[in-house]
Amino acid sequence: MANKDLRDWIAGVEKAGELKIIKGAEPKEEIGGFVDIYMRKMGNPAVMFDEVPGFPKGHRVIANILTSVPRINIALGLPPETTEIELTQWWRKYFKDAPSQPTKAVNGGPLLDNVLSGKDVNIEKIPTPVWHEHDGGPFIGTACLVVMKDPDSGWVNYGTYRVQSHKPDLASVMMSPGKHGLIIMRKYHERGQPCPVAVIAGMHPALVMLGGIEIPYGKNELEAAGGIFGESVEVINMPKTGLPVPANSEIAFEGFIHPDDRIKEGPLGEWTGYYASGSDLEPAIRIETLMYRNDPILMGAIPAVPPNDNTYYFGAYRCGAVWNQLEAAGIPGVKGVWAHEAGGSRFLLVISISTLYGGHSKQAAMVAAHCHAGAYCNRWTIVVDDDIDPTNFNDVIWAMCTRCDPRDQVDIIHGGWSSALDPMCYDTEDDRRNSRVVIDACVPFRRKKTFPKIARSSKALDDRMRAKWAKDLPKGF
């Protein structure tokens, strides 16, 4: 096989000293218990579980995958020491260049090691954890790709949507309104046809990073991944649906979602930190084929109270994408964008700009709060001056406290794009909305010349101090 796969990434992570192997943890409680603890702090190792009771040795589970910057860098093929701010710039360039390689169909691959169809299909052969104590069951798809083909254009979409295991040949998928998979599925159902679907549950992490971000409508995420790898992703077509999946995937299954075939799904503890969406009827996947490599590895990216495995890589991506979209909307002077992990990297955005005219900061705030990359589940958008480091919340809150007059620098906007996962969303099943706040915490343009001087040493004084007193100054200053 030409492409790098999950096992190559694991080897890179192990070499970097970022892998912990745990043997004997059972999947109903203990694997999830381990992952919850490891995930709470950035920089803890990825955890791989082997010798899972009830399953053959070698049937493994890996989780806590993208909770360290070096592991994200290894997935994207970047030097491990690349910083989060550099990652943001990397995503900006990636979206500007939009590198892409068509997928390449191949005749075979390790995914074909085990092919089960008809009555032999059994997804319960894969050790699948109940990830949190109050989940409604095991979820085989967290860091997964759900594959569907647009019946009109032939575009193949790969989206990361949670997939619950119910029975040996039955799973379900939960797609929020607006997500491409849901739009495609409905096109089949409106014609009275079943929707072909495939699920991939173990692959190179770069693929799931792309499945989980807002790649534009009509674009194929595997082609976008080819742009990162610098080579085409090799795919095989699933036998019943013809849907293309990477030939070196660990686990993949295919089947159909029939019109009106919904089953009770969830709950799953989610990236907002709550079980807000509870349990509901969601599309059922009737599985017809299961394939997996010898010694398969199920990959999980587990949502939970943030920061979590969704939020670390997502923040840098989202900052880069929002920054580009601000520029595309004609907003000059953007100096930084930060999506704080405590907000699941979605609920809270900070933009720093050099204000050039009255109304500039408000304009930036409004665009950031509603551009494609910024809109979903946004709640707070804060715009600060360029002397404020948007990643430093002491600075950001100081700006909010001292440069913002709520009379005309705070606005509440109603009816934004939200999700049932947002515990404060309103409206009904198919139309979840939230209200959101934009805070202009920049010195008002009309007062720029008269605003009080800042009571902190200038950079020039800092430099003079450093030149003369370096050994008496705090480390790293």
Ligand X SMILES: Cc1cc2nc3c(=O)[nH]c(=O)nc-3n(C[C@H](O)[C@H](O)[C@H](O)COP(=O)(O)O)c2cc1C
Where are the extended beta strands (E) located within 175-261? 195-200, 234-237, 244-246, 251-257
What token pair was written down for 93?
Answer: 């360039």
Note whether 345 binds ligand X by CB under 6 A: no
- Looking at 192-341, list the stretches that DSSP marks H as alpha helix, in order from N- to C-terminal side: 205-211, 221-229, 311-328
State which of residues 301, 375, 377, 442 lies at the interface with ligand X (CB under 6 A).
301
What are the beta bridge partners of residue 265?
Answer: 280
Q: Is 178 left (phi over 0), alpha (psi -120 to 50) or beta?
A: left
Note whether 306 binds ligand X by CB under 6 A: no
Counting residues that bind ligand X (by CB under 6 A) gives 19
CB of 199 to ligand X, least distance (A): 12
Question: In this complex, which beta carbon is closest to ligand X, that of residue 156 or of residue 326?
Answer: 156
Note whether 422 binds ligand X by CB under 6 A: no
Determine the distance from the C-alpha atom of residue 181 to the mean position of all C-alpha atoms in its chain, rounded to a whole number: 16
Note whether 174 binds ligand X by CB under 6 A: yes
Contact assessment for residue 134 and residue 269, using Cβ atoms and an 8 Å cutoff: yes
Give the position of tokens 């059994």.
Answer: 122
Question: In this complex, which beta carbon is closest to ligand X, that of residue 109 or of residue 181?
Answer: 181
Give the position of tokens 């607006």.
Answer: 178
User: 231 in helix, strand or coil?
Assistant: coil
CB of 154 to ligand X, least distance (A): 16
Note whether 212 binds ligand X by CB under 6 A: yes
Ordered DSSP codes for 351-388? EEE---STTHHHHHHHHHHHSHHHHTT--EEEEEETTS
Question: In this complex, which beta carbon is closest to ligand X, that of residue 175 or of residue 399?
Answer: 175
User: 80 in helix, strand or coil?
Assistant: coil
134, 182, 438 from 326: Cα distances, Å: 40, 27, 15
CB of 425 to ligand X, least distance (A): 13
Note whether 213 binds ligand X by CB under 6 A: yes
Q: Which stretch binds ligand X (CB under 6 A): 31-39, 51-59, 160-168, 409-417?
A: 160-168
Note whether 391 binds ligand X by CB under 6 A: no
Note whether 143 binds ligand X by CB under 6 A: yes
Cβ neighbourhood burial of 165 (10 Å; 0-12, 13-18, 19+)? buried
Note whether 161 binds ligand X by CB under 6 A: yes
Note whether 142 binds ligand X by CB under 6 A: yes
What are the beta bridge partners of residue 68?
Answer: none
User: 159 in helix, strand or coil?
Assistant: strand
Note whether 162 binds ligand X by CB under 6 A: yes
Question: In this complex, which beta carbon is closest to ligand X, that of residue 348 or of residue 388?
Answer: 348
What token pair was written down for 62?
Answer: 């890996």
CB of 183 to ligand X, least distance (A): 8
Note whether 73 binds ligand X by CB under 6 A: no
What token pair was written down for 333?
Answer: 């002077």
State which of residues 59, 125, 149, 180 lies at the interface with ligand X (CB under 6 A).
180
CB of 268 to ligand X, least distance (A): 8
Note whether 160 binds ligand X by CB under 6 A: yes
- Which residue's Cβ has the minimum distance to ligand X? 212
From the list 259, 54, 254, 260, the residue with the least C-alpha distance to 138 is 54
Angle, CA of 227, 223 and 12, to the nearest 5°: 55
Residues 6+ apart with CB under 8 A from 407: none
CB of 368 to ligand X, least distance (A): 18
CB of 399 to ligand X, least distance (A): 30
Note whether 214 binds ligand X by CB under 6 A: yes
Note whether 310 binds ligand X by CB under 6 A: yes
CB of 57 to ligand X, least distance (A): 27
CB of 360 to ligand X, least distance (A): 30
| Residues within the interface to ligand X (CB under 6 A) | 142-143, 157, 159-162, 174-176, 179-181, 211-214, 301, 310
